[in-house]
Structure 1
């Protein structure tokens, strides 16, 4: 599931965040960042899904 979340986070960041956390505050922040500029949305999505939650790909 981590690989699918990673791919979704890179291609469409709000989808990756929604897969992992649902439609909570992080999703809405990520959606706004992605709509403003794509790269901040990707960075925030990767941070929320893999750094802050403590999950690694391995």
Structure 2
């Protein structure tokens, strides 16, 4: 096991972690899609996971 000093760690975050509810509100996804994403990932997921798995209906098709 390797010991790492806290001062040597980078302070930059590599990936953005989103609250699934906030992501759905920001991207105007419906309640059903929010429920589906929460079942898939839980309360939090990376931005990449959410963007690649969110189903959006086309705005020109109602």
- What TM-score results when the alignment is normalised by the length of structure 2? 0.37
More strand by share: 2
The structure with more helix, counted as a fraction of residues: 1
Q: Which structure has the higher relative contact order (CA within 8 Å, separation 6+)?
A: 2
